[in-house]
Amino acid sequence: SGCGAETKSAPHIGFVGVGRGDYVQETTYRYVGSGEGDFDVVEAPQAKSRSYTCIVIGGSVGVAALLLCFVISLVLPPPTST
């Protein structure tokens, strides 16, 4: 191989873009015995249901506190100066 000469490598499979090549990648698994492999069938995690209890209780306490302040401000006589 001289100066500037091309060196060719053996052909290999490479990603060329979705729908642009002639081959698809496949993954296969082989059963090797209980506890002998690296992969197993697992359950998909369940989505956590959201509980809005804390938000509702916190909001209710906040509204009640504001309402209490408003009622107290109406009941108390205004300050007077001499």
Task: Check residue 5 and give its pLDDT.
Answer: 52
| 3-class SS string, the chain | CCCCCCCCCCCCCCCCCCCCCCCCCCCCCCCCCCCCCCCCCCCCCCCCCCCCHHHHHHHHHHHHHHHHHHHHHHHCCCCCCC
Tell me: the pLDDT tens digits for 33-69? 888 888 888 887 777 777 788 889 999 999 999 999 9
pTM: 0.37
Under the banding of pLDDT at 50, 70 and 90, the label for residue 1 is very low
pLDDT of residue 6: 58
